[in-house]
Amino acid sequence: MASKNKGKNTQYSDRGSYNKYMLEEEQLRRSSLPDDDLLLDDPDIEEHQVRSKNAPAPGSIKEKMEQLRKAADERRKAKESLPKLEETFDGQLKTKTGRRKGVLALGIAICTFALIGLVTTVYLAASGITYLVKNNPALTRYDDIIAPVAYFDPAPFETLEGADAETLIYICLWETLTVNNEKYEISDNGKTVVPVADVDETAQRIFGSGARLDYSIFEGKETDIDYIPDSNTLEVFNTGIEGFTHKTLKVKGHGNEKEVTVGYIEPDSYGIPDETQKKDEYAKKMIYIVKKDDSTGKWYVSAVRKADD
């Protein structure tokens, strides 16, 4: 045993050779490791450092091992001190992208609303022009009193006394029903009961405060309208009647009397006015003389004349 130990000691009697051997062994081990950081945790290196703690300082294995440790340490510190570039970059990229998307969305929204505003403005402007052309107040201000008269197309007359009495009652009765339909009762025979007083009020609004209607013409006659003298009411089946609508084409005159030229628009086969008729395609044209009532200050129809085409 003594000779064996002696031989081993003789083999590495030179400390420099031993240290060189150990360094080569450790370097060989190190070359097979994936990371220098793992080298610091290797127990064999710790053991070697203990064994070689008395090695010569300059140029010794200990110094080289210390340099290796120091390099690995510095590498670790450097690695830990580095910012997480990838994560930071990704985070910033997402943030910037989010902001850019937000700005882009806001920009699109602003542009969209601006476009909508422009289109709306153009549309409203065009609609307003069309409205003014089609609904010129100078032409339409008399429509409310002309419309119920034109609807029944009375024969021309110069005075109310010269007009067809039955047609005048039809005009005023249906206008009354149109305005106040829901307030009237239904009789046992299914007819709507309308007080004569309400019809008279309508007649004075359309034909002036001096208008008087003769309801007796319906007594003893088989017509759509029943006059009940005892209750001073009219009874009528409240059904739809096809009639004309009109368009005011021209207004002439000054002061309290106007000459209004209107075009009659016929209903189509379904009873709906065909307002697509052009200027020269009206069923006919009539002239309405409207006057301002001295007692009420309101306009009324005083005469209807045939227009000269």
pLDDT, one tens digit per residue, over 135-154 is 677 788 889 899 999 999 99
| Entry pTM | 0.55
pLDDT, one tens digit per residue, over 249-266 is 999 988 899 999 999 998
Confidence of residue 239 (pLDDT cuts 50, 70, 90): confident
What six digits make up the tokens of 174? 């249906």
